[in-house]
């Protein structure tokens, strides 16, 4: 039977202290307002730990069963919102242990044999991040599905492709959508990678040096779904690479969403009119009745700043920390939770917004037929059919563009004689080369924008996604 804990001061560590902590100390020290979100993982971790302690005969079966029953009750109380957490008890770990103590008495004290909050929190947090990754991956998949859907419907939709946000060459809208499918699939891989790397268990590393109790770390690691126990107890309690991996994967993924959000803002503007974002994802103005603002896209763009800002925060928390544990590490949760919440929100918002985008095919086509967009096609044509190298033909087409500019017309409106002045053999077939459909069709190199290539990539993606 464990000795009755002194209820004075903080009963979890108050043994050597003679006066109470100040209120402001309690405030700065407490993390329960944030880390209550680790409750499920904490109880799961404790259950595995206690079972192992009993299996190893470090505690008796009787006490183990009593603790396990108590933990299930605490878990139910938390699930039913019946447990009021106390700031005085600092964090989720001590709130749970204290409640266990209230429920089963001093035997609760056996739970903390051969562990410390340092390995406990590292274990809980890894499990939390793992769960988060498991919920984020399907959200990325939904976005990929929806981009694919848009690609499928717009395999042949001609639009201007941009470099420097200047019309560059005609492309298909489907091809542009597939670019995001590629990005998101790399994002997914990054999360899978992060998950694989984090899946080693810190539990049993205790404060930093391991423990003298005959624990079985492989048993707890397996029980909690980890690949194996972490191999160095100092590393185990002080490493937050897994959180960095998570936050950086999130930042990259969010950056991709932000780039598309930015395109939506531009494309849905009056001046572009390429797409229409549905009313359900737009807002009006309180003063200008005609307005339809792409707020959701703008907010996705801004929330991404919060996510990548969090990456810098976490890097900065870690950069000056000596090994092993320092209390600074407590701040990692707030950062990671913020990243998780914002990323989930932007992924959900983007996925739904994508299903409600109207693509203005006519406007896109008209914009793609803007002046000189097929100038590169003409240059390629001169190289393929006449005896010019690319640099020479680039010069020639440059001159033709200048000529057309002087005449205030497009290349395909130039008289054939103007072409013939340059190359007497040129015939009417030059005008086919200047046509946007032909231009797009001709870009049949692997990964190019031709509708056949786009269709082939869509088929591949559909197979891969299945
Ligand atoms: N709430 C703490 C955290 O999140 C738990 C670990 C406390 N460890 C300690 N040595 N004070 O980091």
Entry pTM: 0.92
The sign one gets for the Cα dihedral 431, 432, 438, 444 is: negative
| Rounded Cα–Cα distance for residues 207 and 120 (Å) | 9
Q: Which atom of ligand 1 approaches the CA of 92 most closely? A: 1
Q: What distance in angstroms lies between residue 90's CA and the mean position of ligand 1's atoms?
A: 9
Q: Do the beta carbons of residue 51 and residue 111 sit within 8 Å?
A: no
Predicted confidence at residue 9, as pLDDT, reads 64
Catalytic residue among 18, 164, 280, 445: 164
CA distances from 385 to 75, 421, 423, 426 (A): 77, 16, 11, 9
In the chain, CATH 1.10.275.10 covers 2-113
Q: What is the dotted CATH code of the domain comprising 375-434?
A: 1.10.40.30
Written as tens digits, the pLDDT of the chain (466 aa) is: 344 434 446 767 777 777 777 889 888 999 999 999 999 999 999 999 999 999 999 999 999 999 999 999 999 999 999 999 999 999 999 999 999 999 999 999 999 999 999 999 999 999 999 999 999 999 999 999 999 999 999 999 999 999 999 888 999 999 999 999 999 999 999 999 999 999 999 999 999 999 999 999 999 999 999 999 999 999 999 999 999 999 999 999 999 999 999 999 999 999 999 999 988 877 777 777 777 788 999 999 999 999 999 999 999 999 999 999 999 999 999 999 999 999 999 999 999 999 999 999 999 999 999 878 999 989 999 999 888 899 999 999 998 999 999 999 999 899 999 888 887 888 888 899 999 999 999 999 999 999 999 999 999 999 998 7
Choosing among 1.20.200.10, 3.90.600.10, 3.60.15.10, 2.40.420.20, the CATH entry for 118-366 is 1.20.200.10
Q: What distance in angstroms lies between residue 304's CA and the mean position of ligand 1's atoms?
A: 29
Q: What distance in angstroms lies between residue 97's CA and the mean position of ligand 1's atoms?
A: 14
Q: Do the beta carbons of residue 328 and residue 321 sit within 8 Å?
A: yes
Predicted confidence at residue 20, as pLDDT, reads 79
| Rounded Cα–Cα distance for residues 96 and 101 (Å) | 9
In the chain, CATH 1.10.40.30 covers 375-434
Predicted confidence at residue 3, as pLDDT, reads 41
285 part of the active site: yes
> Which residues lie across from 277 on neighbouring strands?
357
Q: Do the beta carbons of residue 139 and residue 347 sit within 8 Å?
A: yes
Q: Do the beta carbons of residue 248 and residue 240 sit within 8 Å?
A: no
Distance of CA 448 to the CA centre of its chain: 27
Q: Which fold has domain 2-113?
A: Fumarase C; Chain B, domain 1 (1.10.275)
CA distances from 116 to 49, 120, 123, 237, 240 (A): 11, 6, 11, 10, 17
Contacts of 5 (CB under 8 A, 6+ apart): 11, 101, 106, 109
Phi, psi of 220, deg, nearest 5? -65, -40
User: Residues with Cβ within 6 A of ligand 1?
Assistant: 31, 35, 91, 117-118, 121, 325, 327, 329-330
Strands 200-201, 228-229: pairing is: parallel
Alpha helices in 320-389 (DSSP H): 332-355, 361-368, 375-385
Q: Which of 91, 94, 317 to mutate to test the pocket of ligand 1 (most atoms within 8 A of CB)?
A: 91
| Rounded Cα–Cα distance for residues 225 and 287 (Å) | 56
Q: What distance in angstroms lies between residue 95's CA and the mean position of ligand 1's atoms?
A: 13
Phi, psi of 31, deg, nearest 5? -125, 10
Catalytic residue among 135, 269, 278, 285: 285
Give residue 357's region: left, alpha or beta (phi > 0; psi -120 to 50). Answer: beta
| Rounded Cα–Cα distance for residues 395 and 388 (Å) | 10
Q: What distance in angstroms lies between residue 115's CA and the mean position of ligand 1's atoms?
A: 12
Predicted confidence at residue 1, as pLDDT, reads 38
256 part of the active site: no
Q: Which of 45, 94, 112, 117 to mutate to test the pocket of ligand 1 (most atoms within 8 A of CB)?
A: 117
The CB density around residue 391, as the number of other CB atoms within 10 Å, is 9
Predicted confidence at residue 2, as pLDDT, reads 42
């Amino acid at each position: 039977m464990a000795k009755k804990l002194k209820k004075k001061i903080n009963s979890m560590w108050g043994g050597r202290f003679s006066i109470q902590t100040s209120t402001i100390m309690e405030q700065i020290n407490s993390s329960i307002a944030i880390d209550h979100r680790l409750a499920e993982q904490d109880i799961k971790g404790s259950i595995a730990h206690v079972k192992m302690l009993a299996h190893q005969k470090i505690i008796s079966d009787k006490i183990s069963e009593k603790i396990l029953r108590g933990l299930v009750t605490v878990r139910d109380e938390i699930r039913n919102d019946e447990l009021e957490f106390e700031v005085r008890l600092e964090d989720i770990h001590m709130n749970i242990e204290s409640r266990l103590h209230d429920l089963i008495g001093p035997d609760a004290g056996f739970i903390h044999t051969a562990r410390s909050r340092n390995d406990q929190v590292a274990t809980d947090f890894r499990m939390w991040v793992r769960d988060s990754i498991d919920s984020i991956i399907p959200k990325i998949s939904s976005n990929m599905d929806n981009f694919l859907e848009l690609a499928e419907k717009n395999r042949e939709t001609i639009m201007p492709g941009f470099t420097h946000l200047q019309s560059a060459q005609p492309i298909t809208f489907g091809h542009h959508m597939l670019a995001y499918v590629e990005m998101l699939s790399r994002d997914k891989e990054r999360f899978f990678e992060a998950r694989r790397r984090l899946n080693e268990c810190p539990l049993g590393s205790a404060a930093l040096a391991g423990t003298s109790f005959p624990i079985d770390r492989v048993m707890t690691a397996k029980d909690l779904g980890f690949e194996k126990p972490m191999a160095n107890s100092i590393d185990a309690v002080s490493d937050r690479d897994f959180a960095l991996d998570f936050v950086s994967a999130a930042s990259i993924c969010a950056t991709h969403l932000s780039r598309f959000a930015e395109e939506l803002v531009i494309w849905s503007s009056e001046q572009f009119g390429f797409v229409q974002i549905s009313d359900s994802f737009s807002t009006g103005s309180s003063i200008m009745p005609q307005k339809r603002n792409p707020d959701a896209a703008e907010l996705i763009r801004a929330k991404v700043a919060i996510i990548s800002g969090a990456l810098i925060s976490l890097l900065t928390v870690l950069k000056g920390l000596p090994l092993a544990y320092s209390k600074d590490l407590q701040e990692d949760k707030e950062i990671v939770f913020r990243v998780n919440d914002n990323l989930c929100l932007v992924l959900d918002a983007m996925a739904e917004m994508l299903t409600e985008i109207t693509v203005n095919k006519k406007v896109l086509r008209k914009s793609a037929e803007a002046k000189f967009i097929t100038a590169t096609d003409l240059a390629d044509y001169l190289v393929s059919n006449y005896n010019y190298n690319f640099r020479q033909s680039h010069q020639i087409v440059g001159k033709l563009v200048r000529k057309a500019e002087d005449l205030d017309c497009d290349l395909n409106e130039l008289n054939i004689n103007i072409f013939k002045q340059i190359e007497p053999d040129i015939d009417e077939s030059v005008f086919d080369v200047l046509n946007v459909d032909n231009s797009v069709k001709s870009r049949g190199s692997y990964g190019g924008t031709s509708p056949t290539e786009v269709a082939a990539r869509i088929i591949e993606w559909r197979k891969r996604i299945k």
